[in-house]
Amino acid sequence: MPNLRKMNTDCAVVDLFCGVGGLTQGFVKAKFNVIAGIDFDASCKFAYEKNNAAPFIYKDLTKYSPKKIALLFPKGSIKVLAGCAPCQAFSTYQQGTKKNNKWKLLYSFGKIINAVQPDIVSMENVPNLMKYNQGRVFQDFLDILGGNGYFVSYQIVNAKDYGVPQRRRRLILFASKFGEINLIKETHTGKRVKTVRKAIGHLPRLEAGESCKKDMLHRARELSPLNLRRIRATKQGGSWKQWDKRLVLKCHKKESGKSYGSVYGRMSWNKVSPTLTTQCTGYGNGRFGHPVQDRAISLREAAILQSFPKKYDFIGSKENFKPSIIEKHIGNAVPPRLGYVIAKTIKGHVKQHYAN
Sheet holding 78-83, edge to edge: 56-58, 33-39, 11-16, 78-83, 120-125, 169-176, 151-158
Per-10-residue mean pLDDT of the chain, 356 residues long, equals 59 97 98 97 97 97 96 96 74 46 84 97 95 89 97 98 98 97 96 97 98 96 96 93 85 60 88 97 94 98 98 88 96 97 97 77
Rounded CA separation 43/41 (Å): 5
Catalytic residue among 18, 44, 84, 87: 87
Which residue, 328, 204, 217, is CA-closest to 277?
Answer: 328
Strands 78-83 and 120-125, bridge-based pairing: parallel
pLDDT for residue 249: 82
Q: Which pLDDT does position 250 carry in this prediction? A: 75
Phi first, then psi, for residue 71 (nearest 5°) are -70, -15
d(CA 83, CA 86): 9
Distant-in-sequence, close-in-space partners of 27: CB < 8 Å, separation ≥ 6: 13, 15, 34, 80, 82, 339, 340, 342, 343
- CA-atom Rg of the chain in angstroms: 21
- Domains of the chain, start order: 4-188+334-355 (3.40.50.150), 192-332 (3.90.120.10)
**HSE of 128 in the Cβ direction (CA atoms, 13 Å)?**
14
- Residues contacting residue 127 through CB under 8 Å, at least 6 positions apart: 156, 169, 170, 171
* 11 catalytically annotated: no
pTM for this prediction = 0.92
d(CA 320, CA 317) in angstroms, rounded, equals: 5
Produce one character per residue of 175-203: b if its CB has 16 or more CB atoms within 10 Å, e if not. bbbbeebebeebebeeeebbbbbebbeeb
d(CA 116, CA 155): 25
